[in-house]
Amino acid sequence: MCDLFALSAATNYSAPRSLPIFAAKAGRNLDGWGIGFFRKNRAYVEKSADRAYHEGRFHDSFQRLARVVSSKFIVAHVRLRTSGPIDECHAHPFILQFREQDWIFAHNGKAPAIEAYRSDKFRLEDAVSDSARTFEYLLDGIAARDTESGDAPSLFRAVADTSRRLVEEYPGNYNYLLTNGSVLFAFSNHRQFLLLKGSKQLEGGLLLTTLEHGLSEESWTRFAKEKESAGVLMAILGSDILLKENL
């Protein structure tokens, strides 16, 4: 199973400690890695089909990027292929443009039902995985809500309603991270997210990962969907959980 990492902070931050720990702890994921971040509101992704960590050694680029990337939001992914081929194109995160903004998306889970989904508006050219289609589905859903809701649609509501519909229409396992550089959405309907604020051992800001025991010996807080819900959605801003809802 792939794994996810995010850092969210009020100012630009690097993750030179937590990103390598994330890669090492998620070392069973053999099929690629990616790091997404923002610079002056433009999204950038560096990714590879190589292993992030192998036999005690980090991928050289991964290690260097962990030291250098500086952003209010950093999203990382290590991949264990369950859908789509193993190549750089299918490594996460992905980027799409929407609402005159860049959006970064990374996914962990298995949702074969959505592989058949086709978007009219959003295309991750050449990517044929469930994750690529999930990203397109989410943006389609948010765009549809924009149209339905008129001039001032609530973005959180749009993401929440679209995520609920995603799980209903295309049942599967979804943990995803979605950010436009202003806010980070974290959704989970399987496994969990572990969160840590104000780490003494790693970086400041808010750290998030799907890894079961977190990335340090500190007291990580677990978020998972409640029994009867379709999933839990959080909107994260800086080091705060701004909005949270069991869908």
For other proteins, which is the closer residue by CB, 30 or 155?
155
Give the CA distances from residue 105 to residues 44, 232, 245, in Å, rounded to whole numbers and listed in that order.
Answer: 11, 17, 20
For other proteins, which is the closer residue by CB, 44 or 156?
156
CB of 73 to other proteins, least distance (A): 11
CB of 100 to other proteins, least distance (A): 4
CB of 201 to other proteins, least distance (A): 17
Residues 6+ apart with CB under 8 A from 242: 183, 235, 236
Binding residues for other proteins (CB under 8 A): 10-11, 40-41, 100-101, 150-157, 180-183, 195, 197-198, 221, 223, 235, 237-245
For other proteins, which is the closer residue by CB, 86 or 237?
237
CB of 204 to other proteins, least distance (A): 10
Residues 6+ apart with CB under 8 A from 95: 36, 43, 45, 102, 103, 104, 105
Q: Which of 177, 216, 180 is nearest to 198 (CA)?
A: 216
Distance CA 96, CA 101 (A): 8
